[in-house]
Amino acid sequence: MAVSEKAMEQKDFTNKPLCLSGRGVTKVFGMGDKKTVAVDHVDFDFHEGEFVSIVGESGSGKTTLSKMLLGLSNATEGEILFQGKPRDISNGKKKKEYWKGIQAIFQDPFSSFNTFHKIDSVLLDCINMRGGKNLSKEEKTAMMTEACSFVNLKFAELTNKYPFELSGGQMQRLMIARIFLMKPKILLADEPTSMVDACSRATILDMLLNLRDEIGMTVIFITHDIGLAYYISDTVYIMEHGKFVEYGKADEVILEPKAAYTKRLISDVPKIHEEWDLSTVDLLTEK
Amino acid sequence: MGKVMLEVRNLKTKYITRFHEDVYAVDGVSFSIEEGKSLGIAGESGCGKSTLALSMMGYYFPPLHYISGDIIIDGTNISGLKPDDVRKTILGSEIAYIPQAAMNALNPTQKIIRFMEDVVHAHDPKKDKKSIREMAEARFAELGLPPSVLDKHAVELSGGMKQRTVIAVSTILNPKVLIADEPSSALDVTSQKMVIKMMRELMEKGYIKSMLFITHELPLLYNVTDDIMVMYAGQIVEKGSAKEMVFDPVHPYSHGLMNSILVPEEGTRGNKLTAIPGTPPNLKRPPDGCRFAERCKYATADCRYTNIPEKTFDDKRMYRCLMGVDELKEVYGRE
């Protein structure tokens, strides 16, 4: 099935169980005069199997929010609930337990891998983390082969190689193979396609949709490209200056935007059937 | 037909790896850009777009090496010049190049005005600082950039402003050709729009005579350039006007590229978005026949072994495929 056919089916997720939600989540950097509110009292509900996009410009707070969702930084205020219960990541052990449920793919595949670890050991780590430590060698190899074939890579060609011997697109796919092995409840993808070209982008989007469809994963997709968000997501959250200014079904938000910011984001994307109006931007602004 | 500003004839360049292997990254590329026109180059990563841009400056340093071909800027052939002569006489004044990470090239300890002085002094060492400042301020005002930027350091500027500043600095000597290699890829959509607006103004006000724009984002190329050229494995596989290339591509590879277009327009959710299967050929040993044959669903045995000539149709359109235009249109029309 082509990417679009899977993406097209707009489902209603409101009746599905909650996977990750937030109430008044806030992150403040600095204090006094230098106080910056990066994320400002945001509320959200992400349901099981939902493909959610968080869209905003550079500096809108997308990545700060994603770090809080991943438990890599603490919220200054507010609460994050995982599967309906308040999330507890107060110590290292609990954090590790939480990371079995949420995993991430980042923008730069080149800095996502430990340069000193071979690809086999990267994948073996994932199996061990999922409690597969006592499996036989053959079973582990079979699992790794399956994960690699899920992302159109050949495991036999990757053994004994280091991550830096792969291309950017291959590395990004290897990241997806890791996710396939870990099978977390939630996948947080922070601009996973911004460093790959338009052709590889389609492949990666297809794989993310496969993860959602085959494993029932919730995918949180962070991007500045509203065209991409429209194409792939069920629900879109638009973020401006740390706040969600608009959210809803992708069709509603993109085709009938209500917030002025959403309208501007849409008008800033070059299109092929509509005139691209360059007069809306002012070069004098410090942006 | 306008005056030809840049002409590239059968340009061939290669990389020599540390294992002394040759990688033929640009293999027989020919095209020209007329005065006041812009040309876009599209293609996936590793197809030779950026190497072509580097090769066109005539400034070669290892591992990139020149093999053969001509680069003619406004009637002057620069292909045989020594690197030092190219730097002193061509770069900045005849041809300006903006790489993707141009904004990271700014020295953090210097103010922006110093870069302006550097560029001008490289070509005119006697010019005094006062007149350079006047020149820079006038150019910034013309382009609608805040003149206060000239006295700032790079760290004080946002990514978008840094990129626009670099473009303003590199075009201060009014080069005939501007080569922009993914100038807006690292920026968000609003900053990207500002960069494009500024480049348009440079063209409209005649500060640059012609532009070569490289990106893999087709909607952007469609909105910025007059013509689009599609590159694959070191060769040009199709060329035509922006509109023809986006709405009526001929070559199977161009069809694949156009299928990857994503825009937030009504109805695009229903469009078929399919990735081109397979990977590009290894350019250390380029295939004898069509370089796209391994990934093309209409490839025949002939395609794999025959040298594929460039064909033209409708006056100005060029493509590189064994199949005829009508035949290609028919098979893709059926899909």
Residue in chain B nearest A229 by alpha carbon: B264
Q: Is the ipTM of this complex over 0.90?
A: no
Residue A283 has φ and ψ, to the nearest 5°, of -70, -15
Residues of B in contact with A287 (CB under 8 A): 158, 160-161, 190-191, 194
Domains of chain A: 3-101+185-280 (3.40.50.300), 109-183 (no CATH)
Inter-chain touch A198–B268, beta carbons under 8 Å: no
User: pTM higher than 0.95, yes or no?
Assistant: no
DSSP string, B108-156: TTSBHHHHHHHHHHHH-TT--HHHHHHHHHHHHHHHT--GGGGGSBGGG
Looking at residue B91, what DSSP letter applies?
A: B
Nearest-angstrom CA–CA distance, B102 and B162:
8
**What are the pLDDT tens digits along chain A (287 aa)?**
455 455 556 677 888 899 999 999 999 999 888 899 999 999 999 999 999 999 998 889 999 999 999 999 999 999 999 999 999 999 999 999 999 999 999 888 888 888 899 999 999 999 998 888 899 999 999 999 999 999 888 888 888 889 888 877 888 889 999 999 999 999 999 988 887 877 788 888 888 988 998 889 999 999 988 888 998 899 999 999 999 999 999 999 999 999 999 999 999 999 888 888 888 887 776 55
CATH of the domain at B270: 3.40.50.300
Interface test with A, best of B262, B272, B292 (most A CBs within 10 A): B262
Task: State yes or no: pLDDT of B139 exceeds 60.
Answer: yes
* Cα gap A172→A193, rounded to integer Å: 9
Q: Which domain holds residue B206?
A: 4-334
Give me the residue from B220, B264, B269 closest to A226, CB to CB: B264
Q: How many structural domains does chain B have?
A: 1
Cα distance from A250 to chain B (closest Cα, Å)?
Answer: 10
Residue-level pLDDT at A10: 61
Q: Which residue type does B13 have?
A: T
* Chain B nearest C-alpha distance from A205 (Å): 10
Put simply, the answer to whether B160 touches A227 (Cβ < 8 Å) is: no
CB pairs under 8 A between A and B: 154
